[in-house]
Amino acid sequence: MQATVHRDGRLVLGGQMMRVALGRGGVRGADKQEGDSATPLGVLPLRRVLYRADRAKPPECAVPIEPLAPEDGWCDDPTHRDYNRMVRLPHEARCEALWRGDGVYDVIGVLGWNDAPVMRGRGSAIFLHVARPDYAPTEGCVALALADLRRVLAMGVTELVID
């Protein structure tokens, strides 16, 4: 099932509309690059869902699900062979920690961006995750309120169309 995400901060699914936060760099297509803080334009499949089992029950979803561990990270170093892949921390390359104190990554949908195949510098770690209370812009991800994120996943979403 597809959900459509509009540049104006709306996600539409099955006649329901939900507020989302997008990248502070706007929405970009073919010129998307690592570090531009832009949300990529196009169809992004939902590959799997990660969650903090110590804070949240497993969300219902139509894709594989797995709990996070404190040493989980995501490599965002385009010079490293693990670029745009989940890794264990500590790691020799620059990585983002997935085990965070702020709740933003309590539930993470890993979106298929620049992963088949991975192209160096094209962008990494594009997630569907929990929005901050003020819906502050993300670093390129799509973020919803936790209740909305759980609802979207439970409705069987398997891809986002970002226009």
pLDDT of residue 112: 98
Q: What is the mean pLDDT of residues 123-132?
A: 98
Query: pLDDT digit string (tens) for 128-161?
Result: 999 999 999 999 999 999 999 999 999 999 999 9
Which pLDDT value is given to residue 28?
96
What is the C-alpha separation between 111 and 124, in angstroms, rounded?
10
How does residue 96 score in pLDDT terms, banded at 50, 70 and 90?
very high
pLDDT value for 160: 98
Read off the pLDDT of residues 7-50 as tens digits, 9 standing for 90 and up.
999 999 999 999 999 999 999 998 999 999 999 999 999 999 99
**Structure confidence at residue 56 (pLDDT):** 87
**pLDDT tens-digit series, residues 49-80:** 999 999 989 999 999 999 999 999 999 999 99
- Structural domains of the chain ordered from first start: 2-69+104-162 (2.40.440)
Q: Omega of the bond prior to 45 within 30 degrees of 0, cis?
A: no
What pLDDT score does 23 carry? 98
